[in-house]
Structures are given as C-alpha cells and as structure tokens.
Amino acid sequence: MIKNIFSIPIYVSFVDKIIADEIEELVVPRLSYLEKKGNVKTDYFSKKIVNPNEVNNLFKNIDNEVLKYTSKTGMEITKNIQFWIQDYSYKESHGKHVHGPELLSGVYYIRAKNNPGNIRFYNPNPYPELYKYTIPINNVLRYEVKPQKGMVILFPSWLSHEVLPSENKNCVRTCLSFNYCKKI
C-alpha cells in the first residue's frame, strides 16, 4: 500500500478588518524610512520603523492564529517574535530563501493592491521534479498564495519560498514578516 505522507502545513487566515486598517494607517506613512537592500525596501537588520507596542493588537491576533496552527501541528514555539517590514513595488522581488534556524515563520500583508506578485512555496522533495511517477503521490512542485490585505500566512521556517515580482506598474505590496523561535 502506498501512502501519501510528509505533508507540509501552510496556514492562511485573515486578521480583523479594523486591525488591518489601523496597521496600514500606521505603517504606510513610515515606508520612506525603509532601506533599499538588494531588490526590496526593508528594515531587516535596521532600525525598525514601528515599535512592537504600536502593533500589539496585530500581534495578539497573529498569536491566536499561531495557536491554532501549533495546536494542529504539535509545533512548540516561544512567544518570542522577530519581525521586519518589507515594501515591494513594480518588478521588485525576493529570491528563493528560507528563514534559517527558526521554527515557524509567517507573513502579514499590510497592503496588497493591483495584483502584486504572489508568494511561492517550493516542495522540499526534489524527486517529483526529477521523475514522472505513475502512482498517486503529492507531486506538487510549487504552491502560490496571492497576497491580500489583512492576510496572515504561517509556514515552517525551513520551507523554501520566494516573493514573485509584480508585472503591474501600479502594484502595492507591503508586509510584516516574522519568525517564532523553537521552545527550549
């Protein structure tokens, strides 16, 4: 008997619209303080453009979603969150990467308008790409999520992903990315 095993839990939900509007109003006027690093504007490894206390309601909402995710996956994490903000414009992207030794990562979309590029996740199993199976297996090579304002996506930190460029000159995509550490 063949079993389709080793699934990867990717969780998508939305925060309350009132919170989403508050966060957008707080962050957008400060985007000019982000530094250009590579192909993205970010405060990663820089002075943060928002204080964690200013986004406390958002973090409470994200914590509730993380609790749902961890209760279903058995993942044990700390409440210690690292976060950074990124802003993408026309044709800007972030190449394929992982979030290192952290356990749980996520992205919250502060704003996403005019068809911004998707976030793409990659199957960590290299064999579906190399072989044509005749048996039913999970042979999905990539999974994409279209960003939407207020959306939260949670995923294992080791999962390869990238931010695809937008082909729309009027696109807007601003996100707060974050990591939770493993419980010790």
Q: What are the domain boundaries of the chain?
A: 11-182
In this predicted structure, what is the pLDDT of residue 3? 54
> Which residues lie below 8 Å from residue 178, measured CB to CB, with a gap of 6+?
62, 81, 82, 83, 84, 105, 106, 107, 108
Q: Residue 155: what are its φ and ψ, rounded to 5°?
A: -160, 160
Model confidence, pTM? 0.89
| C-beta separation of 160 from 104 below 8 A | no
Q: From residue 1, give the alpha-carbon distance in Å to each of 4, 8, 167.
A: 10, 21, 45
Whole-number pLDDT of residue 139: 57
141 pLDDT higher than 80: no
Pick one of 1.10.1370.40, 2.60.120.620, 3.30.1330.180, 3.40.720.10 as the CATH number of 11-182: 2.60.120.620
Torsion over CA: 125, 127, 132, 135 (sign): negative
pLDDT tens, position by position, 64-89: 999 999 998 888 888 788 999 999 99
